[in-house]
Chain A
Amino acid sequence: MRGLRSPPTLVFRFQTPVSTTVARTTSNYLGETEMGSKGVWSGSSDAHLLGEIERLKLEKEELESRIRLLQAQLKPQGAAGEEQSASCSLSPLSCPPINGTALTGLSLEMIHRYGRHLLLPDFGVEAQLKLSRSSILVVGAGGLGSPVAMYLAACGVGCLGIVDSDIVELNNLHRQIIHTEAYIGQSKVKSAASTCHAINSSIKLVEHREALQVVNALDIVSKYDIVVDATDNLPSRYMISDCCVLLNKPLVSGAALGLEGQLTVYHHNGGPCYRCLFPNPPPAAACQRCSDSGVLGVVPGVIGCLQALEAIKVASDVGEPLSGRMLLFDALSSRIRTVKIRGRSPLCPICGENATFTREVFQSFDYENFTQSPMSDKSSNSLDLLPESSRISSKEYNKIVNNGEPHILVDVRPAHHFKIAAMPNSINIPLSILETNLSTIDSALKQADQDSGRCADLYVVCRRGNDSQRAVDFLSKNGFPMAKDIVGGLQSWARDVDHSFPTY
């Protein structure tokens, strides 16, 4: 192929008059060709037209194959994605192949691939060029990060970095659409990068298979122009925002839970940072997580798509980014409302006028302690509320069942959890209404006493073993001192006793 390097230019030039003719002719008949394939032209007496169309189609195919050949020779400059360097520095020459078409700065391949962007008067060549010269870091390859990464890859950002330490799990595939079953158990970043590469092999992809933390955040984030927060927890949100202020990077922040989503752009165009808006973290009890509260898969999908859009707008300098405003999405009522939020606060400890927050302070800042919540959607602070004597393991409880010892089992999960799966003979009294339903427990116990002629015991279970402790703590102070909780809840029952019990 090397030998062909110079002739193709000649061939191409030589062919130009022909392709002009073709273009003019096809423009007359293009619509009809499409109609013809739908059968509108069948039975037409004008055989000449059909013949002409056939001839032009063949000519078109031939031209396209020549274009492909020429594009293949441009590849070496465009296929930077093959490099696996952990850097995203885009030298002006490295990413967009400038030598493609000198007039626009976009290569032939790029003009072809992004043609529909170039047709937009509000976007066009200039915006596409800016996009192709920008580098964007997506933090989190989950429900939000999936559409973000896919769209950013597809739209042709110069360099796309993805950072996450999690592995692909089956119970996340309902919303993390970038991953497939084949990647279960493997790195999310590896899986996401492979999907992105399959969508667009001409962009540079950088895999950061690690959790973004204070020790590596400055180093990683500094290599990019724009950051997308697609994480699933509060301490990461504070950390990413603080890091973006320190490095002066715009931050496209999205969040989703249940049937609602939120979106805004921080630290951009005089807008606030996360701390301007939320100087103090909420109480840990207010931090609901997808793994506890649930999330409809498409909801983070919607927010993630909008995050990709905002990132594209910031990168290409098009439109009005969502800075100083926040978009609130309510899936149940199909409502999107955009509200005006406060600007940058002069008193903000991070981005304010007298801020003393430095890189050194950042690197030793304990975000988990600051927010009192873990940097993960999965690990939960397990509660230790009760004395040993008020607790029982799932295996011990199994013995009690097998020995037929008189007892009642109260399941304090919400009613919709109880409907998913429940232990035999358990009574569902959600923790939120326990206080007003003590009489139910009382009469169930009396019934069990009567049936067995002995004094029945009281056990409490929940999903993971936290709410059951709260319930036992309350019960023991309100007339049921014998109440015990099953350590680890239904999760431990499924793990240690009944492997066929559903986990969710």
Chain B
Amino acid sequence: MHLTLEFGGGLELLCGSVKTHSVDVKSEPGEHELKMRDLLSWTKSNLIKERPEMFMKGNTVRPGVLVLINDCDWELCGGLDTELEEKDVVVFISTLHGG
């Protein structure tokens, strides 16, 4: 499945300072769908190059990270259980506090 993953608010530093990643993710053999929980672990093992604890805590993103699927808060689409579709854009953004 072809997806676009974007990182912002400093999370891009965890993946070689690259903000936009065009990726092909295969779902588990025998499974037809790809859920957000699968994408998180795929991202952690394939894109995150340092300090994975700055990306995930337990089986979800760490506190302070907003996940957006096609410009919509993932809490509104089903969170970890959201089924992804071809060409979805998933954004991981760390909240900022500076000023």
Contact = CB atoms under 8 A, between A and B. Distances in A.
A406 interface: no
A287 B64 CA distance: 9
B31 interface: no
Contacts of B93: 262, 328
A286 B99 contact: no
Interface stretch (A210-218, A249-257, A386-394): A249-257
B63 interface: yes
Given A339-B71, A342-B76, A232 B62 contact: no
Contact of A230 (B8, B10, B66, B99): B99
Given A257-B10, A258-B10, A286-B54, A341 B99 contact: no
Contacts of A256: 96, 98-99
B97 A341 contact: no
A492 B67 CA distance: 41
Contact of A288 (B10, B62, B91): B10
A231 B98 CA distance: 7
B97 A287 contact: yes
A232 B64 contact: no
Given A341-B73, A342-B75, A278 B95 contact: yes
A280 B65 CA distance: 10
B83 interface: no
Nearest to A289: B98
A485 B57 CA distance: 32
Interface residues of B, number: 27
B18 interface: no
A279 B6 CA distance: 23
B96 to A, nearest CB: 4
Contacts of B8: 260, 328, 330
Contact of A257 (B51, B73, B98): B98
B50 A280 contact: no
A142 interface: yes
Nearest to A345: B75
Interface residues of A, number: 48
Interface string A130-148: 0000000000101111000
Contacts of B68: 339
Contacts of B78: none
Contacts of B94: 282, 286
B71 A286 contact: no
B72 interface: yes
Interface string B38-63: 00000000000011011000000011
Contacts of A142: 99
Contacts of B71: 337-340
Contacts of A303: 99
A293 B95 CA distance: 14
Given A285-B54, A340-B71, A340-B73, A232 B63 contact: no
A247 interface: no
Contacts of A340: 71-73, 76
A302 to B, nearest CB: 12
A71 B63 CA distance: 56
B99 A262 contact: no
A286 B9 CA distance: 10
Contacts of B98: 232, 255-257, 288-290, 293, 295, 300, 377
B10 A255 contact: no
Contacts of A323: none
Contacts of B75: 342
Contact of B63 (A233, A280, A300, A377): A280
A339 to B, nearest CB: 5
A282 B99 contact: no
A277 interface: yes
A171 to B, nearest CB: 15
Contacts of A156: none
A281 interface: yes
A279 B99 CA distance: 21
17 contacts: A231-B99, A232-B98, A232-B99, A234-B97, A256-B98, A257-B97, A261-B96, A278-B64, A282-B94, A282-B95, A287-B97, A295-B98, A338-B71, A339-B73, A339-B91, A341-B66, A342-B75
Given A286-B62, A339-B72, A342-B73, 7 more contacts: A256-B96, A257-B98, A277-B95, A282-B94, A303-B99, A326-B66, A330-B8
Q: List 10 A-B pairs, minimum CB-CB distance, nearest first.
A: A282-B64, A257-B98, A280-B63, A255-B96, A144-B99, A232-B99, A290-B98, A342-B75, A341-B73, A234-B97
